[in-house]
Amino acid sequence: TDPDSFLLALEDLGDASDYTSIYQEDVFLDSADLYRAIYYLHKLHLLPLSAFPLNEEMRKLNHEHIFHFPFNSENGLDLEGIQKGLGQVALPFQKDTILKGKIQRLGEVYLSQGRCLIHGDYYPGSWLKTDRGLMVIDPEFAFHGPPEFDLAVMFAHLIMAKHNPAVLKKAWQNYHAPANFDHRLLSSFTGVEIMRRIIGIAQLPLSLTIADKINLMSKASEWIREENLLDKINI
């Protein structure tokens, strides 16, 4: 990077496609790609803290779309137009003041100065399938934040893509969490990411029925209420 000239040099990865295909029925992340994705997080979260930009404006924008907008019942988003019945799925959660209070506090953690350099948007759309294997893009979201957030986003998307709990277990075992990693914070951030993707503006090409979404929203709300996700996958 050249801060004085506002220049950023990026590698050309050639012909590539992202991994959003895993949201389709019977399409899964293979073992090699799973390992590469989790190894990237492991190495990233162990980097020594540096004079990395605070990235405050990007964080504020993402905070709005992750922790506030989806849970505002008067946000103007036509969920029924996205999928019939989705508006009714969202409403009980948008009216749950206790749940929303917990989400607000999680948002405050997200905005606070963290102890690791994190990617900030670690989902299949930020992974590219290349001739050299899985590569990671979208560094513009990065900041010093909680490592639990990155892993939670990854877990949330594997869950929404109907990956077996054994896949999450394998990812966790290969992650090798940094010191003071908070399992309950991981669970809560996972729940928020699932909910905001189902009822928020950042929609995904999910192969989920309304019944599937009701089930996921219910589980997500339990994880936000501090039920430990890792207990559910026998870790």
Q: What is the pTM of this model?
A: 0.94
> How high is the pLDDT of residue 1?
62
Q: How far apart are CA 132 and CA 82, in angstroms?
A: 36
Is 180 in contact with 148 (CB distance < 8 Å)?
no
CATH number assigned to the domain comprising residue 172? 3.90.1200.10
Asked if the structure places residue 10 within a domain, the reply is: no
What percent of the chain has a predicted confidence (pLDDT) above 90? 86
> How high is the pLDDT of residue 50?
84
pLDDT at 57 over 90: yes
Asked if the structure places residue 14 within a domain, the reply is: no
CB-based burial, 177-207: b 16+ in 10 Å, e otherwise: beeebebebbbbbbbbbbbbbbbbeeebebe
- Under the banding of pLDDT at 50, 70 and 90, the label for residue 84 is very high
Asked if the structure places residue 8 within a domain, the reply is: no
Query: In 76-146, which residue ranges form alpha helices assigned H by DSSP?
Result: 79-82, 86-94, 97-111
Is 30 in contact with 114 (CB distance < 8 Å)?
no
Asked if the structure places residue 21 within a domain, the reply is: no
Asked if the structure places residue 6 within a domain, the reply is: no
Could you give the angle at the alpha carbon of 95 between the alpha carbons of 94 and 99, nearest 5°?
75
- Under the banding of pLDDT at 50, 70 and 90, the label for residue 2 is low
Model confidence pLDDT, tens digit, residues 163-211: 999 999 999 999 999 999 999 999 999 999 999 999 999 999 999 999 9
| 92's tokens | 């009980």
Asked if the structure places residue 137 within a domain, the reply is: yes
- Under the banding of pLDDT at 50, 70 and 90, the label for residue 73 is very high
pLDDT at 234 over 80: no
Asked if the structure places residue 1 within a domain, the reply is: no
Model confidence pLDDT, tens digit, residues 99-112: 999 999 999 999 99
> If you average pLDDT over residues 40-47, what whole number do you get?
97
Domain count for the chain, please give it: 1
| 85's tokens | 């019945």
Asked if the structure places residue 18 within a domain, the reply is: no
Write out the residue range of the structural domain in which residue 167 sits. 27-213+222-232
The position carrying tokens 């294997």 is 133
